[in-house]
């Protein structure tokens, strides 16, 4: 079975990904649940039974799969670059997986939040960094020569998802390994940030989301972005609005 570009499917990525073709996507860009990783696949947290009913913020971050199952599957469908936003604990496992993979090179990267939340600021340093492991098939072109692995960008404004990532950052990342018209895959797409970023960059998207409320929000954000792009058709892009690597943004 193949897939329909510019679609977000409601469902469990672990059940749906096996139907995808090998190396179907030039870029996988995802932001997995950061919750404690359960390495026993038979003990996967059942989202519908354990989390529902009663939506609460933490549900967005509950791990519903074992990395040992997830990583081989996204690697199989990745033809080029793989970005995985994750917790520090998860990053060690993800980095090790790609370090040991003969076809990939890997880098630990960080997103530094230009406008961090002041929570606990009177007791300790602010929480200003999030981890992202970047791996790419060795032959994949990389468009940003000598770009640093630390990316400064503000947190997303007007959040509709508890762990929503900034569109500008995702656009910057997906453009590093894709060409216009390529399809970017996000198996845990949440409120659709990857899809919106892909559309802004003239790429396509494909994704899965387990939670019906987030799935609906993703569809709404994509629809709104489509209207914006239609309205802007023919208007040249403002290059100064593009994200630059850490050190260029103040």
CA geometry: angle at 69 spanning 68 and 73, to 5°? Answer: 120
Query: What is the residue whose two structure tokens read 């038979």?
Result: 42
**Which of 130, 191, 198, 200 touches ligand SAM by CB under 6 A?**
191
Q: What is the dihedral of CA 65, 68, 71, 76, to 10 degrees?
A: -110
User: Residue 50 Cβ, how far from ligand SAM at the closest point, in Å?
Assistant: 12
Rg (CA), the chain: 17
Residue 24, classified by CB atoms within 10 Å of its CB into exposed (0-12), middle (13-18) or buried (19+), is middle
C-beta atoms surrounding 64 within 10 Å: 21
- How far is CA 125 from each of CA 69, 118, 129, rounded to the nearest angstrom? 35, 9, 11
User: Residue 48 Cβ, how far from ligand SAM at the closest point, in Å?
Assistant: 11
Name the residue nearer to ligand SAM (CB basis): 46 or 232.
Answer: 46
Indicate the residue whose CB is closest to ligand SAM. Answer: 190
Contact 197, 167 (CB under 8 A): yes
Tell me: does residue 13 bind ligand SAM (CB under 6 A).
yes
Tell me: does residue 33 bind ligand SAM (CB under 6 A).
yes
Contact 202, 181 (CB under 8 A): yes
**Considering only residues 150-189, where is the footprint of ligand SAM by CB under 6 A?**
161, 163-165, 187-188
Residue count at the site for ligand SAM (CB under 6 A)?
22
- Segment contacting ligand SAM (CB under 6 A): 87-95, 132-140, 205-213, 227-235? 205-213
**Which of 214, 222, 225, 243 touches ligand SAM by CB under 6 A?**
214
Name the residue nearer to ligand SAM (CB basis): 26 or 207.
Answer: 207
Tell me: does residue 199 bind ligand SAM (CB under 6 A).
no
Tell me which residues touch ligand SAM (CB under 6 A): 12-14, 31, 33, 60, 64-65, 161, 163-165, 187-188, 190-191, 193, 208-211, 214
């Amino acid at each position: 079975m193949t897939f329909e570009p510019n679609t977000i499917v409601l469902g469990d990525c672990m059940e749906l990904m096996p139907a995808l073709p090998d190396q179907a996507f030039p870029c996988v860009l995802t932001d997995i649940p950061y919750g404690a990783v359960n390495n026993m696949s038979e003990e996967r947290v059942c989202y519908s039974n354990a989390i529902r009913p009663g939506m609460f913020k933490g549900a967005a971050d509950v791990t519903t799969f074992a990395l040992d199952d997830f990583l081989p599957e996204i690697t199989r469908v990745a033809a080029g670059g793989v970005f995985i936003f994750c917790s520090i604990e998860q990053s060690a496992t993800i980095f090790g997986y790609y370090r040991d993979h003969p076809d990939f090179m890997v880098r630990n990267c960080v997103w530094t939040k230009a406008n961090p939340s002041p929570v606990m600021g009177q007791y300790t340093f602010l929480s200003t960094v999030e981890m992202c492991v970047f791996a790419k098939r060795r032959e994949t072109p990389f468009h940003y020569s000598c770009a640093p692995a630390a990316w400064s960008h503000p947190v997303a404004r007007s959040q509709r998802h508890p762990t929503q990532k900034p569109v500008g950052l995702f656009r910057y990342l997906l453009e590093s390994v894709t060409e216009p018209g390529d399809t970017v895959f996000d198996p845990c797409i949440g409120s659709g940030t990857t899809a919106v970023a892909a559309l802004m960059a003239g790429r396509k998207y494909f994704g899965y989301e387990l939670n019906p409320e987030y799935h609906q929000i993703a569809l709404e954000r994509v629809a709104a972005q489509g209207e914006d792009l239609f309205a802007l058709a023919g208007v040249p892009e403002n290059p100064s609005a593009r994200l630059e690597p850490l050190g260029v943004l103040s």
